[in-house]
Structure 1
Amino acid sequence: MGQYDIGSALVYDRAAHEAGVFDRFDFILEACGTSHRLLPTIPVLPPATREQMPPADLVAFCLDHGIKAVRACPTAHNFICDRHSMGRLCTQLQARRMPLIHSSIGLREHPYKHQPPWHDLRDLALAFPDMPVIVLHTGMMQGRNLFTLLEECPNVMADLSCASFQYVEEVVAHFGSARLVMASHFPAEDPGLYTTWLNYAKVDADVRANIAGDNLRRLLAAVV
């Protein structure tokens, strides 16, 4: 974090992510307890599998332990993330305005060739308009699909992984800087890939500050 001047970060347990551990969060909570700069997130699954506590209890657990965002990784964890499979959980998240971080990239998939499940994302975002949905790994050449989603779903935000020409500038011009967030994708990737695009984007300083961290800070502050 010091190498790239990252002041704070939403973090996750990479080993648990790869191993498929969904009912123990002691490691991530203990790690984040060592520094106020580390903000914990946990993975979520469709409630029907009963691999996690019931949705209301899970969200209450999150709030009791300082967890203000959760992660859905449908490809890595083999489920469909739409209103049907995730509806009961998203109802609870929406009531608390807790962000759902969505990453559909596979464990060994190349991020630039990735294509998210746009129909599922649209379905989920439209069904829960007051639940922030943060899309990570939007794919390198998926700008047309992403822009369509951003236009139709005001509650959707995206990271900087869409490398279409002048992506940052175009999103800011069409939708405003509030729709973008900086994600380092560490440890799977080098954070420099994304800090560089933001540092050299032709945008005002306040816009750069929003994307670099202020947008996320406002989202987390709004969790009730």
Structure 2
Amino acid sequence: MTIGKMKKYREMLQVPVLRPHLPETVWMTDSRILRMLQTYPSIFIKPNHGSGGSGIIRVKRLGRGFEVRCGSSLKIAGRSSVLKAIRSYRKSGHRYLVQKDLRLEKYHGKIFDIRVYLQKPKSKWIISGMAARVAAPHKFVTNYHKGGHAQPLRKVLMSLFQNDHSKVDACFRKIEQLSITIAETVNKWHPIHELGVDLALDKNGHIWIIEANSHPGHMLFTQLSDHTMIRTIMENKRSMGI
């Protein structure tokens, strides 16, 4: 059984060191959608259960209306019809949450986030893989199944921080610390041995926690020319009988 996004969000919210890195996330209601659209330039509406970027709706404020996107489909709606446009993309029987959109940094003009693959082959959590996930052109999600592709994280951060090694190293340390804390937090409530943590950097360099996935995919790491990470992941899977 997969763990719902809201459950993990609320568990992480209890940890003071993680709280500043969690974007506002609430259960979806019509009134909350409208409130968050007044507060933020854009929002994400996500199914509570789901992975691979499927079913995510982005609503973006325009001059006199809203752009509502799901996958490659797009609708322009006014204030009176925006909820109807959102409903047309929702799947019945699914609970949704509303999350503040983040002004993500870009790599060569495309948004990217960071996938950290954590495993617990023995008594402690270790980081088996870290990579940047770069979105396909004109996409607002970076997932592998939606055309996202892997780039070495250090290469992307070096580009972002203009080859400032000390800034890149500091960012790496922060990513590692946050990821281990997230894994320990989720594991406190659930018996897991693997976790995929998705982090993002905004335009101010702040790190945000997008998602903690208890059934992470590993195919992203096969795209890296250096196969050390995918080998480590697969060796640990074998040792854990996964």
TM-score by length of 1: 0.29
- Please state which structure has a larger fraction of its residues in strand: 2
The structure, 1 or 2, with the larger RCO (C-alpha pairs under 8 Å, 6+ apart) is 2
- Please state which structure has a larger fraction of its residues in helix: 1
Which of these two proteins has the greater Rg computed from alpha carbons? 2
